[in-house]
Structure 1
Amino acid sequence: MMVKIKICGLKRLEDIDYANALKIDYAGFVFAESKRKVDLPLAKKLVYRLDNRIKKVGVFVNEKREVIEKVVGELGLDVIQFHGDESPEDVVGYNVEVWKALRVKDAQCLEEIKNYPVDCILLDSPHVVQCNAPYPDYTQYGGTGRSFDWTILKSVYIRLPIILAGGLNPDNVVMAIEQVRPYAVDVSSGVETDGNKDFDKMKKFVERVRNL
């Protein structure tokens, strides 16, 4: 089965035009604190312009249920992506597809996956904010531009479909897919130039995934 493609952090109308032209599978909109954050009025404009064959993913970090439900209802989101420290109880009770992101530090942290009643698990990179500290800070939630050690996954059975994120770009996505065999790949900073989506990088990323 062809690996699905999600491009996350769309925030400009031209980003939507790029996504439509490339016919990606999932478009990600970030509703958490980030340089890629969108508010609801902007998100409505973006979603209105998006090809309706592309599924809409809302990315949330430790957000209140009522806020998430409002965004899902007003935008017609297809997927909720929980990208924070949400518990298994926090991710249930929604009437759309649900993904949970885990930041992969080691094989042991993957044991958390079995606790989550979700449709897919998104594996992202940890981000060491204080590299020289005795206890590194792993609290940055995604968008780090760094990949994790994919070989960790070889020692763990994961029953859920995997969405692979973290440091992917046109140059390493083929190797990542060959090693991990994910359901989907998720890219954001890896297809940007100076903080904005770059059509040529997006095109190269999509072509390399689809030519496998």
Structure 2
Amino acid sequence: MIKIKICGLTRYVDIEYVNKLRPEYAGFVFAESRRRVSAGTALKLHENLDKEIKAVGVFADESIEAVREIADKVKLDVLQFHGNESIEYINSFKDFEVWKAISVKREEDLSNIYKYKNIRLLLDSKVEGVKGGSGKTFDWNILKKHDLEQKIVLAGGLNCENIKEAIKIVKPFAVDVSSGVESSGFKDFHKMKEFIDKVRRL
């Protein structure tokens, strides 16, 4: 079964939505973003999250110490890195599940993915000046030429209209959605339900 992550949760009602709809992962953004939350807010949200749903923290080029402080305070299950984090940096978090985001626009952007061993890769759209959360897709067909050692998490512009095609082409371990299930910048229960229902039926 393809797993689902709903990212960019900022409100208590967002937690109510995911508790009802039961995706496998709930994402809290600590990187620069309009969906950014403080560690204190994320902790309060996580305290109300169903225990079977894993909490993912999204970071970009933070110090190891800062990430650890937030991860321990919020009790995160997964660390997702969207910056220029080195292998050595990532290896310092072996006590966590780690996802490394790779920004993709064209095939050459996939050239360095094989250096990440035993790390889940999150493939997102490359948009200048934006580290994730752009709401844009990339050409999923370029992945067909690559024998990916890690099962991937597909992100970038996914929504209720394109999710079936995306899964058919990529066959990912998981899909990650944020703006695609929002209305006026906030999570929309009906869009979330439609998205999750479509994934579950595949």
Bin for the TM-score computed over the shorter chain:
over 0.9
Partner in structure 2 of residue 191 of structure 1: 181
Matched, 1:122 2:122: yes
1:7-46 residue pairs with structure 2 within 5 A?
7-46=6-45
Instruction: Give the Cα separation in 2 of the matches to 1:111 and 1:161.
Output: 16
1:149-188 residue pairs with structure 2 within 5 A?
149-188=139-178
Instruction: Give the Cα separation in 2 of the matches to 1:152 and 1:185.
Output: 17
Instruction: Give the Cα separation in 2 of the matches to 1:155 and 1:5.
Output: 24
Letter in 1 for 2:25: Y
What SS does the corresponding residue of 2:194 show, helix, strand or coil? helix
Could you tell me how far 1:196 is from its partner in structure 2?
Answer: 0.3
Instruction: Give the Cα separation in 1 of the matches to 2:46 and 2:76.
Output: 9
Partner in structure 1 of residue 199 of structure 2: 209
Instruction: Give the Cα separation in 1 of the matches to 2:130 and 2:52.
Output: 32
What SS does the corresponding residue of 2:157 show, helix, strand or coil? coil
Count of equivalent residues: 201
What SS does the corresponding residue of 2:117 show, helix, strand or coil? coil
Aligned residues of 1:107 and 1:156 also touching (Cα < 8 A): no
Letter in 2 for 1:102: I
Could you tell me how far 1:118 is from its partner in structure 2?
Answer: 4.4
Could you tell me how far 1:157 is from its partner in structure 2?
Answer: 1.4
Instruction: Give the Cα separation in 2 of the matches to 1:207 and 1:159.
Output: 28
Instruction: Give the Cα separation in 2 of the matches to 1:103 and 1:139.
Output: 11
Length-normalised TM-score, structure 2 = 0.97
Deviates more, 1:197-206 or 1:112-121: 112-121
Partner in structure 2 of residue 93 of structure 1: 92
Aligned residues of 1:147 and 1:166 also touching (Cα < 8 A): yes
Partner in structure 2 of residue 132 of structure 1: none
Deviations 1:78-130 (A, max 9, x none): 10000112122221121110010001122222121111234310000011xxx
Gaps (5+ residues) in structure 2? none
Deviations 1:152-190 (A, max 9, x none): 101111110100000000111011000000000000000
Q: 1:115 to 1:139 in 2, by over 3 A?
A: farther
Aligned residues of 1:60 and 1:82 also touching (Cα < 8 A): yes
Aligned residues of 1:107 and 1:155 also touching (Cα < 8 A): no
What SS does the corresponding residue of 1:182 show, helix, strand or coil? coil
What SS does the corresponding residue of 1:160 show, helix, strand or coil? coil
1:28-67 residue pairs with structure 2 within 5 A?
28-67=27-66
Letter in 2 for 1:90: Y
Aligned residues of 1:88 and 1:117 also touching (Cα < 8 A): no
Q: 1:93 to 1:117 in 2, by over 3 A?
A: farther
What SS does the corresponding residue of 1:201 show, helix, strand or coil? helix
Instruction: Give the Cα separation in 2 of the matches to 1:182 and 1:32.
Output: 24
Length-normalised TM-score, structure 1 = 0.93
